[in-house]
Chain A
Amino acid sequence: MNPEFIDINDFRARMETLRRTGMNFLRDIIGMDWGEEGLGAIYSLENTSTGQVLQTAVRCCDREKPSIPTVCDLWSVAELYEREVYDFFGIHFAGHPDMRRLYLRNDWVGHPLRKDYNEDEAINPIRMENEIPEDVQRPYELAEDAEMEISDKLTNKIHGDQYIINIGPQHPATHGVLRFRLALDGEEIRKIDIHCGYIHRGIEKMSEKMTYPQILALTDRLDYLSAHQNRHALCMCIEKAMGIEITDRTQYIRTIMDELQRIDSHLLFLSCAAMDLGAITTFIYGFRDREKILDIFEEVTGGRLIQNYNTIGGVQYDITPDFAKKVKEFCQYQKGKLQEYNDVFTNNIITRKRMIGVGILSYDDAISYGCTGGTGRASGWACDVRKRHPYALYDKVDFKEIIYKNGDCYDRFLVRLDEIVESIHIIEQLIDNIPEGDYKVKTKPIIRIPEGRYSASVEGSRGEFGVFIESKGDKSPYRIKFRPMGLPLVAAMHKILKGAKIADLIAIGATLDYVIPDIDR
């Protein structure tokens, strides 16, 4: 893939033209450090009506005070993506209303993903005091002669008599370690400020020193409930770059495992959403059914949660002889149990009152924020990667894409229940026809990718998971970027929560279905 390089003076005009002519989905902004050529970013855009995909890139040569014009008024998700690029590379985005770090503490010294970052522990020791919150931000503006100027407008200031409470990071309902600071007016939420980074493990920086099979071992832990899909994306990207053809048997096995993983993840979503609203019975039922899938996984791959199964060129082990029988038994069992969830939880009057009409995300907002996955489909946007850009065997099986129109919590919940039925349908079409053959092809002992830029996406359990690799021909990548499935969802919370109450925050957070290690990487 070759991005179109735009000069920094024409950048803003070109992006406005692209947005007007229909490129309404900003998939990712990938910050880059090109060494002597300067710092910059690559933007990946898509037109949702025609399916056209385009990459643009911009470069600024000043390493002391790099600056690029912002695009966050054209695509709303760019607010958080640009904060991430600022955090890791130090590039200021002129015109951004809230230029703070996203993942690291605000007293962190340095920008980690730059090539000249000093990793000495003495510079950034383990600081055990609180970080002082910044409630006052000063935006940077690009003046006429392109020198940066700090204006003194105080934005994002919290009004004097609003009551601020803190939720998290250790909290039973935040699905991990996410911290919210809410400004309340009585029980209604006026403003929400999201602090992520409590589980930021620096996977992208670590990967720049590791070989490709070692990076593969780490991708299981990004979104551990889409473990097979994450590894599938990285393996697809590397195999495409090196030109390796995998066998049909591998394609069948990878697709079946992906769909089993999707059912597993949706059952866990159901259990945790119910537990957040107080229905602990459904939590127990969901986990009981999930254990059947984990048994199948453990027999074949050896792991319950972290499976280590897809490798470059194939899979790690062949499937066991009674795999098909067990999967068919599971499909029969699960079809019978779906009505039980509806009886106990979905049709219950309390659930309906708490979720119908709450937390509405409109169709335009879903595209502008880039909320793919079940959340986007509940707002009416047909964003399934399996239908838009098919991969593996998804163009050969017959399945429906589940779309609902209202965009409230109840629809987001129903989308995933219906997707379980569709996944069982896909598995039943494939399970009896697995062809004979090898389960992996022979590859070189040391994997080197030819020079260039490559990307691949899959439909993870929560949205579109993408991998971008820029390689200079070595055994380690020059830059690797994973598109997080959950960051757009968290970015959209600000819009969804207008006028909602605190109890609605819990229901909305539960049905948006994010997993924090995937946001923080």
Chain B
Amino acid sequence: MEFKETYIGRIFYGMRSLLIGLHTTLKEFFTKKVTEQYPENRKTQHISERHRAMLYMPLDENGNNKCIACGLCANTCPNGTIVIKTKTVTDEETGKSKKVLVDYTYDLGSCMYCQLCVNVCPKEAIAFNNHFENAVFDRSKLFIKLNK
């Protein structure tokens, strides 16, 4: 019968497959490493622009946010991550009353990054940034107030 099927043949081919594997790993030993040295490369690492790590309110040139307190983001959020407190103020000159934002609380611990709030905002007042270093010891620190 063929050499491959004899007893000695099977041992030979088996050892050969193990040695081919060892040869591959030895070659890999001399190639460049792919490890990213995380805390040391904080200044030079590249994180994608579109990565979603935290919600924030971008400010315009005067340092104000663009939120008009319509509440659409809080209604669209699937699990109640955004809680808005508003109050109604009456403008003295024109007599019209409008809603004004008092407090915008965002729960980082339950956000699912689905972008429904960002998509529905009519004034583009909220957006995601890629600051991912957010681990804390205390659960209450994860409720962030977005409007400064």
Contacts and interface: CB of A to CB of B under 8 A. Distances in A.
Interface stretch (B46-54, B56-64, B140-148): B46-54
Contact of B50 (A218, A317, A445): A317
Interface stretch (B16-24, B90-98, B102-110): B16-24
B25 interface: yes
Interface stretch (A131-139, A236-244, A294-302, A324-332): A294-302
Chain B at the A interface: mostly helix, strand, loop or mixed? helix
B18 A348 contact: yes
B8 interface: no
A429 B121 CA distance: 39
Report whether over half of chain A's contact residues are helix, strand or loop; otherwise say mixed. Answer: helix
Q: Which of B14, B17, B21, B34 has the most CB of A within 10 A?
A: B21
A306 interface: yes
Contacts of B78: 210, 214, 217-218
Contacts of A317: 50
Nearest to A352: B17
Contacts of B50: 298-302, 317
B48 A302 contact: yes
Interface string A107-131: 0000000000000000000000000
Given A217-B114, A291-B34, A308-B113, A281 B18 contact: no
B114 A308 contact: yes
Contacts of B120: 445
A384 to B, nearest CB: 31
B3 to A, nearest CB: 16
Interface string B1-39: 000000000000111011011011100100000100000
B115 interface: yes
Contacts of A288: 34
A343 B18 CA distance: 9
A281 B24 CA distance: 11
B68 interface: no
A450 interface: no
Given A344-B21, A344-B24, A299 B116 contact: no
Given A300-B50, A302-B52, A303-B52, A217 B112 contact: yes
A390 interface: no
A217 B21 contact: no
A349 B16 CA distance: 9
Looking at A214, A218, A445, the one whose CB has the most chain B CB atoms below 10 A away is A214
Contacts of B25: 281, 344
A56 interface: no
A281 B21 CA distance: 10
Nearest to A316: B115
For chain B, give the interface size range. 20 to 34
Contacts of A214: 76, 78, 114, 116
A343 B20 contact: yes
A213 interface: yes
A340 interface: yes
Contacts of B24: 340, 343-344
B113 A303 contact: yes
A347 interface: yes
A359 B20 CA distance: 27
A437 to B, nearest CB: 21
A348 B17 contact: yes
B21 to A, nearest CB: 5
Contacts of B14: 349
A213 B25 CA distance: 47
Nearest to B20: A343
Contacts of B15: 349
28 contacts: A214-B76, A214-B78, A214-B114, A214-B116, A217-B114, A285-B28, A291-B34, A298-B48, A298-B50, A302-B50, A302-B51, A303-B51, A303-B52, A306-B113, A308-B114, A316-B115, A343-B23, A344-B21, A345-B21, A347-B17, A347-B20, A348-B18, A348-B21, A349-B13, A349-B15, A349-B17, A350-B18, A445-B120
**9 tightest Cβ-Cβ pairs between the two chains A and B:** A217-B114, A302-B50, A349-B14, A214-B78, A298-B48, A343-B24, A344-B21, A349-B17, A299-B48
Given A214-B114, A343-B24, 20 more contacts: A213-B116, A214-B116, A217-B116, A218-B78, A281-B25, A285-B28, A298-B50, A298-B51, A302-B50, A308-B113, A317-B50, A343-B23, A344-B21, A347-B17, A348-B17, A348-B18, A349-B13, A349-B14, A349-B17, A350-B18
